Amino acid sequence: MRTIKIINVIFSFLVSLTLISQTTQKPPLHGKKYMAITGKPIAATVGARIFEQGGNAVDASCAMIAASCTIWDVLSWGGETQALIYNPNTKKVIAMNALGYAPQQATVDFFKKKGYNFPPEYGPLAAVTPGTFGGICYMLSHYGTMHLYQILEPSLNLAQGYPMDAQTANAIEKNKALIKQWKYSARILLPHLGEQREAPEPGEIFVQKELANTLQQLIDVEKKALKSGKPRIEAISDAYNLFYKGAIADEIVRSTQEQGGLITKEDLRIWQPREEDPLHVNYKGIDVYKLNAWTQGPTLLQALNILENFDLKSMEYNSSQYINTLYQTLSLVNADRDFYYGDPKFSQIPIEGLLSKAYSKERSKLIDTTKNNIYIEPGNPYPYQNQINPFSNLLKKRKLFLDSIETSVQTAVPKHDASHILIQEMYSEDALYETRLFAGTSTVEAADAEGWVVSVTPSGGWIPACIAGNTGIGLSQRLQSFVLDSIINPFNVLEPHKQPRVTLTPTLALKDGKPKYCFGVHGGDTQDQNLLQFFLNMEEFAMSVQQATEAPNINSYQLILSLGGMQYKDRLPKVGHILVNKSMPFAIQNTLKSMGYTLQFGNRTSGPINAIYFDRKHGSLWGGSSNHGENYGIGW
């Protein structure tokens, strides 16, 4: 036994040493004036173009979001945008919330009567109000320097025709049966209907006339306002009003309701983006900032508080001891996420207790150093903010409820929901679970010489999207992240004009009040798992930013899925299941199995992560763009 332990230590040391000194598959990016990184090369090029035209990091970010929507980089114009912005003038981090909310008619009773256990995964009934355009307008008018037409013109050019990448083209082909349910989607996304391949071919010039017309309308109304003498902010507001209160809003509402959706003109009129205070914790002198508990972002902060109680560096990178500690930390914070997170406007989230160092220290005692703890449940943060937990009895009932689901056979699903049937036909049960767990989004990371720094995780309206009539806008599918039963999460139960608790989670980290890291990742429920490991790779294991984006991560399945699944059992945690990289030494694999883990393997398990590191010693920017996917960056 002693010999095995010695071998494991040697393996861990060699793996750690090799990783830290490795040559990366992609080179790091370097810049002095700016850095623009996002999910697709063509969108990164748009960001660089805006910088070269004199824009700041906010301008470039808005343009990259717009381009990503236009090229369907796992989002569309009907999706949502959330951002963290560092303002060099105030030395403050700003949180921007441009997530849509549930339509007024979207209620628990409405969906329960239709036979749903969760809101649907796809289609018009899955849509919250569009937030992306509102978010762009807010960021641009408050913190940008350019006109909206300058930001939108690259996207207009793309909508008029761009060569589609293989990843998007093949995603459309794979999902064409779902797309055909919605006539506007089929008309736009399947230009070769009736042929063997109905989606665009890779490299084919893909034209979106409807979307181009929508973008042109927005550009024209702003230019008209500017010509009449209105200041920049008012001109942007005129375009905003056209989208949310004018002719574009009329067509979104008409076509959504025609296809069975619930969004009304009043829903669009009342919704608006807003600025918030971010949350943050200090980890060994680094202030890490996240959005509030309407996202899963605070899980990373909770995890850092827990991990402060361990000497991670001595464990060695991706040793069995390190992975076991990390996995159980993720189990602890996701258990809290799955019960306590939701829209703070509707419920008083116990965020003070959840982010308390004392609470995290107490939670850390549940970590078993010899094996995986399969009994981790949501904790009780209320005493750490001098309150009594109002949901103690519900927590007890919840455990019995979830345990009963594991042994029950559920067959009741809405027979009229064609999407559910088509999805089950496309995937095996295991493949469908993993598709939902790792469901992608995009990221936008930008920084400039003046000190503006932006991290954005835009998403929503991904393929297969239900398109809103003649607008060319793919509607969000984010309503599925609500629950319909308080026994699962009393803070995230669907209500009209409430925002769902989403997975989207940009990150900024400051040292001595100055930006040190700006980072984001694609990947549904796994986002903060990967971001946590990126941060630890940099801080604990001295990797370069590119090494940290490529380094093999682990992903835990011990959480309740935020996306997809019509039945309760579809979303249940897979206790002890873990994704590891195929390069993991057999000795560590065997040790993890002996500790109660079920291993799944992947060739790339790094995220994909995009990041910027601020080199204060040399006054330069380092960019990391993951080798996992089509992430791309440009620095100058």
Contact 442, 522 (CB under 8 A): yes
Distances (CA, A) of 508 to 214, 397, 531: 33, 38, 11
Q: How many residues does the chain have?
A: 636
How many Å apart are CA 498 and CA 101, to the nearest integer?
5
Contact 610, 549 (CB under 8 A): yes
Cα 245 vs. chain centroid, distance in angstroms?
Answer: 28
Contacts of residue 597, defined as CB under 8 A and 6 or more positions apart, other chains included, come to 327, 372, 576, 577, 578
Beta bridge partners of 280: 289
Tokens of 403: 């345990």
Q: Where are the beta strands (DSSP E) in 218-309?
A: 274-276, 279-283, 286-290
Contact 527, 457 (CB under 8 A): yes
Contacts of residue 259, defined as CB under 8 A and 6 or more positions apart, other chains included, come to 123, 124, 182, 183, 184, 466
How many Å apart are CA 333 and CA 323, to the nearest integer?
15
Q: Is the dihedral of CA 621, 627, 633, 634 positive or negative?
A: positive
Q: Is the dihedral of CA 558, 561, 562, 567 positive or negative?
A: negative
Mean pLDDT by groups of 10 residues along the chain of 636 residues = 46 47 87 97 98 98 98 96 98 98 98 94 97 98 98 98 97 96 98 97 98 98 98 98 98 98 98 98 98 98 98 97 98 98 97 98 98 97 98 95 75 62 72 87 96 98 97 98 97 98 98 98 96 98 97 97 90 96 97 98 92 98 93 97
Tokens of 510: 């400051």
> What local confidence, expressed as pLDDT, does residue 410 receive?
55
The helix (run of H) or strand (run of E) holding residue 36 is strand 34-38
DSSP 385-440: GT---TTHHHHHHHHHHHHHHHHS------TT-HHHHHHHHHS-HHHHHHHHHT--
Cα 475 vs. chain centroid, distance in angstroms?
Answer: 17
Helix or strand or coil: residue 601?
A: strand
Q: In what order do the strands lie in the sheet with 29-31?
A: 29-31, 620-625, 609-615, 514-521, 507-511, 286-290, 279-283
Contacts of residue 617, defined as CB under 8 A and 6 or more positions apart, other chains included, come to none
SS3 string of 481-535? HCECCCCCCCCCECCCCCCCCECCCCEEEEECCEEEEEEEECCHHHHHHHHHHHH
Shortest CA distance to 25 belongs to which of 544, 536, 546? Answer: 546
Cβ atoms within 10 Å, residue 605? 22
Taking every pair of Cα atoms in the chain, the longest distance, rounded to a whole number of angstroms, is 81
pTM as predicted: 0.95
Beta bridge partners of 580: 601
Beta bridge partners of 631: none
Beta bridge partners of 177: none
How many Å apart are CA 180 and CA 467, to the nearest integer?
11
> For the chain, first and last CA: distance in Å?
54
* pLDDT tens readout for residues 107-116: 999 999 999 9
Contact 545, 612 (CB under 8 A): yes
Q: Is the peptide bond before 585 cis (omega within 30 degrees of 0)?
A: no
Which residue shows structure tokens 């960001």? 47
Mean residue pLDDT of the chain comes to 94
Q: Where are the beta strands (DSSP E) in 75-166?
A: 81-87, 92-98, 162-163
> What local confidence, expressed as pLDDT, does residue 288 receive?
98
Q: Is the dihedral of CA 554, 426, 80, 47 positive or negative?
A: positive
Indicate the Cα dihedral angle 88, 504, 74, 573, nearest 10°: 160
Shortest CA distance to 508 belongs to which of 531, 476, 480, 533? Answer: 531
Contacts of residue 83, defined as CB under 8 A and 6 or more positions apart, other chains included, come to 61, 95, 96, 98, 135, 139, 454, 455, 456, 457, 506
Tokens of 171: 């995603």
Tokens of 164: 């589609």
Q: Is the peptide bond before 608 cis (omega within 30 degrees of 0)?
A: yes
> What local confidence, expressed as pLDDT, does residue 23 receive?
84
The helix (run of H) or strand (run of E) holding residue 223 is helix 209-227
How many Å apart are CA 149 and CA 226, to the nearest integer?
11
**256 φ, ψ to 5°?**
-65, -45
* R_g of the chain computed on alpha carbons: 23
By CB atoms closer than 10 A (0-12, 13-18, 19+), residue 437 is buried
